[in-house]
């Protein structure tokens, strides 16, 4: 049996969960999320726990069991505590500013990049002297937050020779040495 799928999900205080018509709706202090799940699975709210079960040990059912348990868990954590990602701009002259839901990036191109963020995501851009600029993104939807971070990262991926680009805080970029002097 799936080790992830059979673990019950604890419902924290202030979070309400509704299950109807193959859809789970989770509401909490940070927001409201919903997710449709596989029609063969059963999701039940028992006391302050959510239990996901499957009808058989088919390969399809085992895969869906763990997946939807993890998705529901991410929703519960998102609406109760939320998710936060920090991205760092490494490079001379790289800047980021935020105006509402628009993130303006200056990444060494001939033009500035304006990126409109979804309404569910809160953005903050920090620039301190002698430190790399930071972009701090917060949301209750883990999947959407990850997609937005991946999109921002594609504007200037970290390169292995100088380490310039947009990277996550704490991420280690594998570095290459570059050209070495030829022996004569």
pLDDT tens digit string along 27-72? 999 999 999 998 999 999 998 999 999 999 899 999 999 999 999 9
Residue 126 main-chain phi, psi, to 5 deg: -120, 135
Angle at 149 between CA 78 and CA 52, to 5 degrees: 35
User: In the chain, pLDDT over 70 holds for what percent of residues?
Assistant: 97
How far apart are alpha carbons 122 and 175 in whole angstroms?
A: 32
Q: What is the pLDDT of residue 1?
A: 46
pLDDT tens column, 99-149: 999 999 999 999 999 999 999 999 999 999 999 999 999 999 999 999 999
72 Rama sector, left if φ>0, alpha if ψ -120 to 50, beta otherwise: alpha
Reduced to 3 states (helix: H, G, I; strand: E, B; else coil), residue 75 is helix
Does residue 76 carry a pLDDT above 90? yes
The answer to pTM > 0.95 is no
DSSP label at 99? E
184 pLDDT more than 60: no
Helix (H, G, I), strand (E, B) or coil at 90: strand
* Helix/strand/coil (H/E/C) assignment for every residue in 127-184: CCCCCCCEEEEEECCHHHHHHHHHHHHHCCCCCCCCCCEEEECCCCCCCCCCCCCCCC
């Amino acid at each position: 049996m799936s080790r992830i799928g059979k673990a019950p999900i604890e419902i924290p205080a202030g979070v309400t969960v509704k299950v109807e018509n193959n859809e789970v709706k989770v509401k909490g202090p940070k927001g409201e999320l919903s997710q449709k799940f596989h029609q063969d699975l059963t999701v039940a709210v028992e006391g302050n726990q959510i239990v996901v079960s499957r009808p058989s040990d088919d390969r399809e059912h085992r895969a869906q069991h763990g997946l939807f348990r993890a998705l529901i868990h991410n929703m519960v954590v998102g609406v109760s505590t939320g998710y936060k990602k920090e991205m760092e701009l490494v490079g001379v002259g790289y800047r980021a500013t935020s105006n509402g839901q628009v993130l303006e990036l200056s990444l060494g191109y001939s033009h500035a990049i304006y990126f409109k963020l979804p309404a569910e995501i809160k953005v903050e851009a920090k620039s301190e002297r002698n430190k790399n600029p930071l972009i701090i993104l917060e949301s209750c939807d883990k999947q959407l937050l990850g997609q937005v971070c991946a999109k921002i990262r594609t504007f200037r991926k970290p390169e292995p020779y100088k380490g310039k680009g947009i990277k996550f805080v704490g991420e280690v970029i594998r570095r290459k040495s570059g050209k070495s002097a030829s022996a004569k």
